[in-house]
Amino acid sequence: MASSSFNQIQELRSIFAPSQLEVLDTPNKNYKLLKELLDRKLKPSDKGLEVGSSNYISKSSHFFIRAKALQNYSFLPFWNKETKIPISPTSYTEHSLKKGDLIISKDSNIGEIIILDKDYPNHMISGAMYKLPITKLKYYILSFIKHESFRKQLDLLVPKGSTIRHAKTLFLDCRIPFPTQKNKNEIINYVEILTKSLINKEIEIRKKSNEIFSIIKNELLNNGKKKTFQFSNPKLTDFSSLKRINAGIFSEYFKQEEFLIKNYIYGFNSIKELGFLASRGQNLQVSCIGKSIYSSEKKNNFYTVIKPKHLSVYGFAMSEEYLGNKNNLKTLKKGDIIFGAEGFEKGRSIVIFKDRDKTITNIHGITLNHKKENIKLSVFVKCFLDYLRRKNLIDLYAVGGNGGSLAMKYWDIIPIPKFPKAIKDKIIKLYTNNSNISNSNLSNFEKNDFNFNKSAGIFELDKSIKKTKLKLNYVLSDIVSNKKINIDFTFLFD
């Protein structure tokens, strides 16, 4: 049974909350507090500032970064219109955000951390974040702050009970353990190398995703039939033929973007014409399939569920869950596209690459199944759907409030351009391209990894990230519990 002394309680300003008296103890006593690892003491100026919502504007040269840009699944900031807000330049304060800076969150998603992938001039961070002054062992420390042992400690230090938790600077009192075995410096190096590898791969995924986007954009821009676009307001017949009167698809922006695709020199096809059959995913409600058992862990005979919320914007599943049900549910097949069709973040999609055992999605994921299982075509269509999402066209094609939905009946009006094979292959190769890495050691891994990243597609990069993350996690856990670690890179092979 755990106990607390009177002194302990007094130290805590007489707080009796059990969570505050709990301390996380680990076998490894060789640790430093985060504050001991900083280059210098944390200053108030390291904290961001609030500009107030009155300074939010729709377009600007200056931006305000919210804590939501820091996400558990990524080492890099995640950008969307929620996380990066244009603000009036007069309210801006310079934070000189540079490539490699570490940013930690102290409010709401407490302890979440990212590293900046490049310089961000004209960007400031909100009052919920600190910029950490760390140069020595930066990647080692970064990987530990992302690890659950750090979060557990912080969780116990920060009072619960309020809607938004405030960590103040309590993260500075969390422990970062160090290895104790003979070749401890090599182990530290190993952790740093793996962490850097993860960051590089994330950067590479974004780079390739951007490349796909610009290939599509340029191909459409440079190969139009007619030269100019002319906007005209909708006619009554447009309403009746499309059976829609909502403004989105009649706006000038939409018309112009749609013109770009429909005016493409080689023409376009609908999803159906390409041979896809669209249908909704399995309806999981009790009245439809009876009671199910939900689990976050893999279990024998359970279905794997990939829901739209699990998909990243770059086109892979970040996580999955499992469901036990006695019925024969509608499973996904090789070559299928899952497309998240509902809500504010709709439009994310993935392609199923391998024949998977008992994998399903839910009713919010529309599946596009090709009659003849054509992976290459599926990948191309998926990439083009990404283009539409990034151009905000998915939202405009969709109907309804609360984020809306791109119901199946609207899929027929979505044009997919008939790109020449060479262009298509270029796009497909960026998304998936087999790449091999030879077995490595500490001294040559970074070079081998660099070469792997260069040729690998987004899909392969993600696969490699998942393996590396798993390994890194084991290594960090072993450091926490003071177990001996062997340096190896065989985990990268299947």
Partner DNA sequence: AGTTATTCAGTTGGGGCCAA
Partner DNA sequence: TTGGCCCCAACTGAATAACT
Nearest distance from C-beta of residue 161 to DNA, angstroms: 5
Tell the burial category of 203 from Cβ atoms under 10 Å away from its Cβ (0-12, 13-18, 19+).
middle
- 312 near 383, Cβ under 8 Å? no
In one letter, which amino acid is 40? R
Instruction: Determine contact, residues 199/75, Cβ cutoff 8 Å.
Output: yes
By the rule CB under 7 A, 109 interacts with DNA: yes
Whether the CB-CB separation of 333 and 369 falls below 8 Å is answered with: yes
Would you say 128 or 216 has its CB closer to DNA?
Answer: 128
Smallest gap from residue 438 Cβ to DNA (A): 39
Enumerate residues 51-90 that contact DNA by CB under 7 A.
Answer: 52-54, 66-68, 82
Binders of DNA in range 360-399 (CB under 7 A): 362-364, 399
> At residue 420, what are phi and psi to the nearest 5 degrees?
-65, 155
192 vs 345 by CB, closer to DNA: 345
Q: State in Å, rounded, how far the first CA of the chain is from the last one.
A: 45
Considering only residues 231 through 290, tell me which ones interact with DNA, judged by CB under 7 A.
Answer: 279-280, 283-288
Binding mask 211-230 for DNA (x = CB under 7 A): --------------------
Query: Which residue type sits at 18?
Result: P
Residue number, 207 or 358, with CB nearest to DNA: 358
Mask for 324-343, x = binds DNA (CB under 7 A): ------------------xx
Taking the complex as a whole, the smallest distance from the CB of residue 387 to DNA amounts, in Å, to 20
Burial-class residue 97 by CB neighbours within 10 Å (0-12, 13-18, 19+): buried
Q: Directed axis angle between helix 148-157 and helix 458-480, to 10°?
A: 60
Three-class DSSP category at 114: strand
Half-sphere exposure of 469 (CA within 13 A, CB side): 20
Say which residue the tokens 């409010």 belong to: 107
Indicate which single residue of 6, 7, 40, 44 sits in contact with DNA (rule: CB under 7 A): 44
Q: Does 409 bind DNA (CB under 7 A)?
A: yes
Strand, coil or helix: 33: strand
CB of 214 to DNA, least distance (A): 26
Q: Is 402 in the site for DNA (CB under 7 A)?
A: yes
Strand partners, 120: 97
**CB nearer to DNA: pick between 197 and 304:** 304
CB closer to DNA out of 98 and 409? 409
The number of residues that bind DNA (CB under 7 A) is 51
Under the criterion CB under 7 A, does residue 152 sit at the interface with DNA?
no
Helix intervals (H) in 178-246: 184-222, 236-242
Residues binding DNA (CB under 7 A): 44, 47, 50, 52-54, 66-68, 82, 107-109, 126-128, 159, 161-164, 166, 168-169, 279-280, 283-288, 307-309, 342-346, 362-364, 399-400, 402-403, 405, 407-409
